């Protein structure tokens, strides 16, 4: 299951009120009872950038702390809704915790982030365009993108020589695993959130088969309805991590597919904050 198969991409209206709520939560002091609020937030610089890839120009947004020493880099792969305001806010929040974060437009081969985000899956022509954009994201294409995006992060004066993190939501979970396999010497941690059952398939190019080629720590945060749809996936992921000797956690969260995204109709704040804290705890020990 993946939220690109849902009529509204899993998103509700993301208003300025939503954004203020999310910003307030990100800046909340420790001890409020919300797990992810325990990390202080620094002032963040935001820059729209263009990353030149072998397949074209990818529009993206870069966030980094406005002052201080260089920080570890993180690549954020959006869900099927693509690069849009809610993903910007998630990238900004992470940067405020001490990372240089690149949030990319995964559909850049088909159009800019605003153009792709404006597509309506209820309109046949729009749905066909998004389907074609997804089809262009072959494993080989994603590997090329991964190498380019990580190299871009590594060249920045705002990034340190620490290992790079990569995280993804929905379809971005599989893209994150592919990134770790494409750049095994640089990726130190992988976070997949409601990544769907495409993480472990019976096809020869299934993402889980790449784990043994990586050198990363893993967090697979699975939605309860994805698990109900195919309860074997979590076992396959755990067994793969064990056989490959890779540290990691595979956990089923008590929330529905899309729960980490504040704009989602199924957003679950408590479980989203638990996932956020587990991610940032992993980054603290892995991105060194």
pLDDT at 32: 40
pLDDT at 60: 98
pLDDT of 86 > 50? The answer is yes
**CB of 253 within 8 A of CB of 3?**
no
- Average pLDDT taken over every residue of the chain: 91
**CB of 235 within 8 A of CB of 227?**
no
Q: Which of 39, 50, 18, 28 is nearest to 94 (CA)?
A: 39
**Alpha-carbon span 152 to 228, nearest angstrom:** 39
Mean pLDDT of 28-43: 57
Which residue segment(s) compose the domain that 282 sits in? 3-286
Tens of pLDDT, residue by residue over 121-137, are 899 999 999 999 999 99
**CB of 105 within 8 A of CB of 82?**
yes
Give the pLDDT band (50/70/90) at residue 228: very high
pLDDT at 263: 86
Mean pLDDT of 59-63: 98
Q: Which residue has the higher pLDDT, 33 or 24?
A: 24
Mean pLDDT of 144-171: 98
Tens of pLDDT, residue by residue over 167-204, are 999 999 999 999 999 999 999 999 999 999 999 999 99
Domains contained in the chain, number: 1
pLDDT of 256 > 90? The answer is yes
| CA-CA-CA-CA torsion sign (98, 103, 288, 240) | positive
No. of helices (H) and no. of strands (E), the chain: 9, 8
pLDDT at 9: 42
Q: Which residue has the higher pLDDT, 22 or 6?
A: 22
User: What CATH code is carried by the domain that includes residue 144?
Assistant: 3.40.50.1820
Beta-carbon contacts of residue 60 (< 8 Å; ≥ 6 apart): 48, 49, 50, 51, 83, 102, 103, 104, 105, 149
pLDDT at 33: 40
pLDDT at 40: 78
Give the pLDDT band (50/70/90) at residue 14: low
């Amino acid at each position: 299951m993946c939220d690109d198969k849902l009529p509204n991409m899993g998103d509700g209206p993301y208003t300025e009120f939503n954004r203020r709520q999310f910003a307030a939560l990100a800046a909340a002091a420790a001890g409020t009872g919300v797990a992810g609020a325990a990390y202080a937030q620094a002032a963040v610089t935001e820059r729209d950038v263009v990353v030149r890839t072998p397949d074209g120009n990818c529009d993206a947004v870069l966030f980094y702390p406005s002052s201080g020493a260089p920080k570890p880099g993180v690549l954020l792969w959006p869900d099927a809704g693509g690069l849009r305001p809610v993903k910007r806010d998630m990238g900004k929040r992470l940067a405020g915790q001490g990372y240089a974060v690149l949030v990319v437009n995964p559909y850049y081969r088909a159009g800019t982030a605003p153009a792709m985000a404006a597509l309506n899956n209820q309109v046949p022509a729009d749905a066909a365009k998004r389907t074609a954009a997804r089809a262009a994201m072959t494993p080989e294409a994603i590997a090329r993108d991964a190498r380019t995006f990580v190299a871009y992060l590594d060249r920045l004066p705002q990034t340190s020589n620490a290992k790079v993190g990569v995280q993804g939501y929905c379809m971005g979970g599989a893209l994150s695993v592919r990134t770790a396999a494409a750049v095994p010497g640089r990726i130190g941690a992988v976070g997949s959130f409601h990544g769907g059952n495409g993480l472990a398939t019976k096809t020869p190019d299934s993402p889980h088969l790449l784990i043994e080629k990586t050198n990363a720590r893993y967090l697979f945060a699975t939605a309860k309805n994805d698990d109900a749809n195919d309860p074997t996936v979590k076992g396959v992921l755990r067994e793969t991590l064990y056989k490959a000797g890779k540290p990691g956690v595979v956990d089923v969260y008590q929330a529905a597919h899309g729960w980490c995204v504040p704009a989602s109709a199924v957003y679950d704040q408590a479980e989203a904050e638990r996932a956020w804290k587990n991610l940032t705890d992993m980054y603290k020990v892995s991105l060194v």
